[in-house]
Amino acid sequence: MAEDVHAKIEAANRIFGDGFERGDAVAIAALYTKDAALFPANSDIVRGGGNIRDFWQAVIGMGIKNAVLQTIEVEQHGDTAIEVGKYRLLAEGGAQADAGKYVVVWKNDQGTWKLHRDIWNTSQPAK
């Protein structure tokens, strides 16, 4: 069962990355629950599908072409799972624009695991 959730989360994360490749913020936002919250650095909390779409659209607009997500751990509690991972954001030609780590709280939404709480920060030195 835990293996199953792990695989499903990794599959959702690949769809997340594919959304960046296509520049499709609508597809990325669809991976979140209806009452999801993002916690981006240098920003207040971003809540709800429209705002989450707009946030990722802005990131795509900044030239991010892919998000590579590496799951480090998944801990399941019924319809909730906590994922810890590392990310890399890639710009044109695969140049690394950012790299860091994240914690995502996932919810099983009628059989589909969706991001519910999503927080990350950069591991790169302060500018």
Site residues for a copy of itself per CB under 8 A: 37, 39-45, 75, 77-78, 80, 82, 84, 100-103, 105, 117, 119-127
If you write DSSP's letter for every residue of the chain in order, what string do you get?
-HHHHHHHHHHHHHHHHHHHHHT-HHHHHTTEEEEEEEE-TTS--EESHHHHHHHHHHHHHTT--EEEEEEEEEEEETTEEEEEEEEEEE-GGG-EEEEEEEEEEEEEETTEEEEEEEEEEE-SPP-
Q: Based on CB atoms, which residue is closest to a copy of itself, 96 or 123? A: 123
Q: Based on CB atoms, which residue is closest to a copy of itself, 21 or 79? A: 79
For residue 125, the minimal CB distance to a copy of itself (Å) is: 6
Q: Based on CB atoms, which residue is closest to a copy of itself, 59 or 105? A: 105
